[in-house]
A and B are shown apart, each in its own frame.
Chain A
Amino acid sequence: MTNNLDRVELSLVGRKRSERLFKFYGFLGILIAFLFLITILYSVISQGQKAFFTTFIKVNIFFDSEIIDPQNQRNDEDIRYANFNKIITESLKKKFPENLNKNDSKELSSFISSSEADYLSGFVVKNKDYIGKYKNMWLLASSKIDVIVKNPEMEDLDEEDRLISDKQLGWLNQIRLNKELKKELNKNFFTKADSTEPEQAGIWGSLVGSFLTLLITLVLSFPVAVAAGVFLEELAPKNKFTEFLEVNINNLAAVPSIIYGLLGLAIFLNIMHLPRSAPIVGGMVLALMTLPTIIIATRSSLKSVPPSIREAAIGLGATRFQSVVDHVLPLAIPGIMTGTIIGMSRALGESAPLLMIGMVAFIVDVPTTFLDSSTALPVQIYLWKSTAARGFVELTAAGVIVLLVFLILMNGLAVFIRQKFEKKW
């Protein structure tokens, strides 16, 4: 007997150690998952915050009347199409007293974003008395300069890997010494659509596209899903047909999202001839995808309404249909809303089916109707990621931040509704 107890006693050390080890492994699992989340957020935010600000260069612009208006006629059309790039380059040259050859001025002109010539021409058309005068202006720097300013470590790279030449770097440092460089909020990012130039590209176009798409998704999927949920949970007789329906809905919930894209391509585009890249098609595809989510949410929140409500209504002479529509459904609304918002937030982050129906086009205009070509927020992120230019890396991360902010807002709203309105029975 003592022999056995001794053996237990002896084995206890090892067993306790393996117990502690096992518990540690479990904790490690959680810790690793947590670390992954932190790493993802850190890598996104550390890159993305750079894109919210952009570099401006102070230039003393000389509105040379020889270039703008040689005939001195002050004609709007002539002024608008004058060579403002030359004006910028000439004014930039004055910063550097040393003699610059033709090649140098070309390198110098790439300091300023190509959009600024348009800006200046618009400015002069409105303020014609500036012609022939000097004005200090902050001009948007090109993406190359912006990237170097934001990532000082790149200055130490070799000339070939650095985006700008040694000479350009020298000029940049001189500009910096003269305090003619500033960082300001990147307005283009929040107000523009896509562009080939990183400093002129923005997220607004794709945000509007996502909004239009989600609107269609909501309008199509919400009523249908709630109706289906009410029928299946409250009114459906138990038979082969309803069983088949349930199996179908469960399967739809597990179909890979890209398959919905193929469905949209084959049916909505090729058979129904709806326009490619349009929010209406994207919305229809995403509606099919969110349908099961909302149906399942509707059913579970209907299920949580206690049967006494139904019995009371029926006891007072209501029909089954009346008891459901007038009494059970209103009580289930908060749960349905929560499920719908979560389904919508999933639809907002979804991009694979949208790739299939052509919402990956390069679109410069902000869409205004459901039939315009547009992209969606996650697709824009994908597009920017696939672009080679260095300046788009930060834009991509910034797009991810915007997407995450919207998801957090939507999920926060869902949690709020759940806690504020959902009744615990």
Chain B
Amino acid sequence: MGFWSFFFIIVFLGLTTQWYGTNKALKLNSNIKEGPKLPSLPSYYGTNAFLWLVISVLLFLIVWVFSKPHILDYILIQNIPKALIDEFGGTPNMLIDIIKATDISNIFPGTNPIIIENALYYNKIDKLSDSIAYSIILFVGLTVSIFSINKISFLFKARQAVEKTNINLLILCSTIAIIATIGIILSLIFEALRFFEKVNFFDFLFGFNWSPQTAIREGQVASDGAFGAIPIFSGTLLITFVAMFVAIPIGLFSAIYLAEYAKPSVRSTFKPILEILAGVPTVVYGFFAAITVGPFLKNFVGEFGFTIASESALAAGGVMGIMIIPFISSLSDDVIRAVPQNLRDGSYAMGATKSETVKKIILPAALPGIMGAVLLAISRAIGETMIVVMAAGIAANLTLNPFESVTTVTVQIVTLLVGDQEFDSAKTLAAFALGITLFFATLFLNIIALRIVQKYREKYD
């Protein structure tokens, strides 16, 4: 039985169950001439039977999808002659992968006949196991729907049962957020722990030398590589600093202008324009930084007799700053507008001008919120990937000069993981160590920012 025939049988079965359950309940109701009828509407009885069927089938299907590869691998390895495994250099798993990858409709000439035989066998058990599993699932579904239809009686409160199931399904959907968080943390931690088996934790965190490219293969000269992440952290901070240097003044002044000075019509034109900046994909900013800003800065700085690297921190950070402007301006705008009007009125009554009110009253009152916005922006900047991948360098230089090329955490993660790699080497695992550092750094910044913003809100609401 193929998947689609299985699918249509299940759909048909589901609709029948729903229809039959509803009809049975209707019939029961119509038999009653006086006295109380069924405790729930007839359609709920149908829906209840339907839900039972769908949930049990889905459950079994998921179990099958996840266990199928393991079961098939086990059966396949039993079938492969031991001689072939011994003859084959690598692990049995690699042999299995080769067998699975053999296309039986288009066999490459010169393939080992035993492998072809096994590929045919694999193909056969693949189809066979699927139809067996589908039949079992179908049988289970049928049993469940018969059982749930039999349950229809005056004692059974179908609506409560259906609502409870539905709410539980909703809860399940909500917990996916938790599952995702746990998945992120666990996957990062496990890989990072494997990395720290090979490289000392403190060497990683406080080392000054980063050259993972030497650690491509084991047994190479200097195959250990060097994994001191300080130059990467400093590079990330340098680019973030440049970005903030651009974004904070521009973003803050725009926010002040929009919130305090602009007429409603001006506000309603310029606010969307700022939001367009936020909607531009980061890959576009990366392109802009690499193709336009980089060469421009090179010429511009060259006029004054300085030299600047073509992948300078200034270009990447500056463009990242442009990306962050709308982030800071819209958050600060909200915060400034949330400052109560009576503070402004009080200040004007004392004879202060608008700018004096902004500088001496509003900004101090809004400061915690603005700090929160800046922290969120920083966390955004250190996690930003595409701009730096396209416009910043790969070599880890320990420098504070924005004219030089530096690298960032995200650039390193990308360069370490893109392309063919062996998955157990320290080089690829280092990406996960950097990833978990990045994750916790941004998490920390976000939590603090949210705390500050929340505390501030409580004061005025």
Contact = CB atoms under 8 A, between A and B. Distances in A.
The answer to whether A and B interact is yes
Interface of A: 8, 15-16, 18-19, 21-23, 25-30, 32-34, 36-37, 39-40, 43-44, 47, 223-225, 227-228, 230-232, 235-236, 244-245, 248-252, 254-260, 262-263, 265-267, 270, 272-273, 288, 291-292, 295, 319, 321, 345, 348-352, 355-356, 358, 360, 378-379, 381-382, 385-386, 393, 396-397, 400, 403-404, 407, 411
Given A262-B432, A266-B187, A351 B354 contact: no
Interface in B276-303: 276-277, 279-288, 290-292
Contacts of B250: 29, 32-33
Contacts of B148: none
A319 B383 contact: no
Given A272-B66, A349-B280, 19 more contacts: A8-B351, A22-B354, A22-B355, A23-B261, A26-B261, A29-B329, A227-B169, A228-B177, A231-B174, A256-B385, A256-B439, A262-B413, A263-B188, A270-B423, A351-B281, A351-B386, A352-B282, A356-B414, A407-B279
Contacts of B383: 255-259
Contacts of B69: 273
A385 B390 contact: yes
B435 A262 contact: yes
A245 B177 contact: yes
A404 B170 contact: no
Instruction: Using C-beta atoms within 8 Å of the partner chain, give the interface range for chain B.
Output: 35 or more
Interface string B418-461: 10000100000001100100110011001100100000000000
B260 to A, nearest CB: 8
Nearest to B181: A248
A235 B249 CA distance: 43
Contact of A33 (B274, B410, B423): B274
Nearest to B257: A26
A235 B166 CA distance: 11
Please give me the 3 A-B residue pairs with the lowest Cβ-Cβ distance, nearest first: A256-B383, A349-B281, A26-B257
Contacts of A18: 353, 355
B417 interface: yes
A15 B353 contact: yes
B258 interface: yes
Identify whether the interface residues of A are mostly helix, strand, loop, or mixed: helix
A26 B442 contact: no
Contact of B418 (A29, A360, A400): A360
Contacts of A382: 283, 286, 386, 389-390
Contacts of A407: 279-281
B376 interface: yes
Nearest to A227: B173
B283 A258 contact: no
- Name the residue in B170, B329, B414 with the highest tally of chain A Cβ atoms < 10 Å from its Cβ: B170
B315 to A, nearest CB: 13
Residue among B173, B277, B284, B287 with max Cβ neighbours from chain A (10 Å): B287
26 contacts: A15-B353, A22-B355, A23-B257, A26-B253, A29-B253, A29-B257, A30-B258, A43-B288, A44-B284, A224-B176, A228-B177, A245-B178, A251-B443, A254-B446, A256-B382, A263-B180, A263-B188, A266-B432, A349-B280, A351-B281, A356-B417, A381-B284, A385-B287, A385-B290, A403-B284, A411-B279
A228 B439 contact: no
A350 B322 CA distance: 18
* Interface SS majority for chain B: helix
B173 A231 contact: yes
Contacts of B249: 29
Given A228-B170, A231-B170, A262 B410 contact: no
Contacts of B356: 15, 19
Contacts of A379: 283
A19 B355 contact: yes
B95 interface: no
Given A33-B250, A245-B178, A257-B385, A352 B410 contact: yes
A404 B277 CA distance: 12
B175 interface: yes
Contacts of A321: 163, 166-167
A404 B283 CA distance: 11
B279 A245 contact: no
A400 B284 contact: yes
Nearest to B270: A30
Nearest to A384: B287
A385 B169 CA distance: 45
A351 B288 contact: no
Contact of B286 (A37, A225, A385): A385
Nearest to B323: A36
Contacts of B283: 349, 351, 378-379, 381-382, 400, 403
Given A44-B287, A411-B279, A291 B176 contact: yes
A252 B177 contact: yes
Contacts of A270: 423
A235 B423 contact: no
Contacts of B410: 256, 258, 352
A291 to B, nearest CB: 7
A189 B251 CA distance: 38
A300 B251 CA distance: 26
Contact of A40 (B163, B257, B285, B442): B285
Contacts of A345: 279
A262 B185 CA distance: 10
A266 B249 CA distance: 40
Contacts of B178: 244-245, 248
B130 interface: no
A258 B413 contact: yes
Contacts of A43: 288, 291-292
A381 B386 CA distance: 11
A33 B329 contact: yes
Q: A44, A223, A254, A386 — which one has the most chain B CB atoms within 10 A of its CB?
A: A254
A378 B281 contact: yes
Nearest to B445: A254
